[in-house]
Amino acid sequence: MKNFLLLLVALWSVTGYTKPFEEFDIWADDKRYYRSSIVREGDALYVAKTSWKNISKRPSEHETVWALVDFDSVTSWKRFNKYRLGDVVTFKNSMYIKSKGWHNPALVKPTPYFWQLYTGMTEDDGLPPEPPEDADQGLLGVDSNGNGVRDDVERFVATENKDLPKVVPFLNKLVSIKRDAYIEYIYTGSVPDSFLDDYIKMRGCVKQIAPLDHNKRLSSTHTKVVNTPERYSQTLRVDKAMAGGKSIVMITPSVEECNSLIK
């Protein structure tokens, strides 16, 4: 039996496939879903716990029938841990959603038979085009959709955080706050306290969503933002104007407050 199980896992490792968020079926109230089916409702994913009594059972309202895919608690896969449907782990630079309800044999690492390999949001989903090489870089760069985030930064944030798409709007908001501070400083030579307050809250929201690696995500985004000497120097000036001489207390807003900040 053990040899058969390992063979089955090996076969699925070869023939399995990855899925981005958009390729999961949108939940339909007149459809029956089999156990382990993954559907999307709104901006969330759910795994069917049973093959019966799930017709017309909206996933967000029936936790006994559907398991919410928990992107808020992503952990590295551990050999002897037990995982529930909807748990999300990382393993060898890939992300997996627990889609089978079986126990976890100690020797079975994340594979498409027990886990759904997940790639997050597709890279070009609603993203601005890559700025041409001869585009005016300058301090503010190119922001073709006018959302306060340079096009190259917006694409970078989406690509670098495909494993955790929920954090993307918060990182983008953080970038847009700093951009507004740039503009304010250019015209007035100062930065109002409200910019610092919003910046601290947004950093806290990133920590709320990605508690295990928020510093890495924040650092990589910052590095992309200050990718020229002019932008780096301006960031130092703005940071000094925004926070110089002030006592700063980092906070972690609630999930509800974080969601209200990006609406």
Within a domain: 178: yes
Residues 30, 61 contacting (CB under 8 angstroms):
no
Lowest mean pLDDT among 14-18, 65-69, 169-173, 232-236: 14-18
Same domain, 94 and 176: no
Same domain, 84 and 157: no
Same domain, 109 and 199: no
Q: Which one has a higher pLDDT value, 32 or 104? A: 32
Measured N-to-C along each axis, helices 193-209 and 214-225 cross at an angle, to the nearest 10 degrees, of 130
Kindly report the average pLDDT of the chain as a whole number: 78
Residue 13 confidence (pLDDT) above 90: no
- DSSP 8-state secondary structure symbol assigned to residue 37: -
User: For 156-166, what is each residue's pLDDT tens digit?
Assistant: 999 899 888 88
Lowest mean pLDDT among 5-19, 80-94, 144-158, 159-173: 5-19
Supply the range of the domain harboring residue 68: 15-120
**pLDDT reported for residue 154:** 92
Residue 14 confidence (pLDDT) above 90: no
Lowest mean pLDDT among 6-20, 149-163, 190-204: 6-20
Confidence bin at 135 (pLDDT 50/70/90)? low
Q: How far apart are CA 27 and CA 42, in angstroms?
A: 9
Domain count for the chain? 2
Residue 100 confidence (pLDDT) above 90: no
**pLDDT reported for residue 102:** 54
Within a domain: 101: yes
Same domain, 165 and 244: yes
Within a domain: 211: yes
Within a domain: 7: no
Sign of CA dihedral 165, 169, 171, 175: positive
Residue 253 confidence (pLDDT) above 90: no
Residue 108 confidence (pLDDT) above 60: no
Of 248, 235, 149, the closest CA to residue 185 belongs to 235
Percentage of the chain exceeding pLDDT 70: 81
**pLDDT reported for residue 173:** 92
Quote the pTM value. 0.55
Q: How far apart are CA 36 and CA 221, in angstroms?
A: 35
Average pLDDT over residues 125-129: 73
Q: How far apart are CA 69 and CA 53, in angstroms?
A: 20
**pLDDT reported for residue 243:** 79
For 49, other C-beta atoms within 10 Å of its C-beta total 20
Average pLDDT over residues 243-255: 75
Same domain, 103 and 189: no
Within a domain: 104: yes
Same domain, 57 and 97: yes
Residue 7 confidence (pLDDT) above 50: no
Same domain, 28 and 77: yes
Confidence bin at 144 (pLDDT 50/70/90)? confident
Within a domain: 41: yes
Say which CATH number the domain at 81 has: 2.10.10.20
Strongest mean pLDDT among 32-46, 83-97, 127-141, 218-232: 218-232
Q: 3-class SS at 84?
A: coil
Same domain, 25 and 91: yes
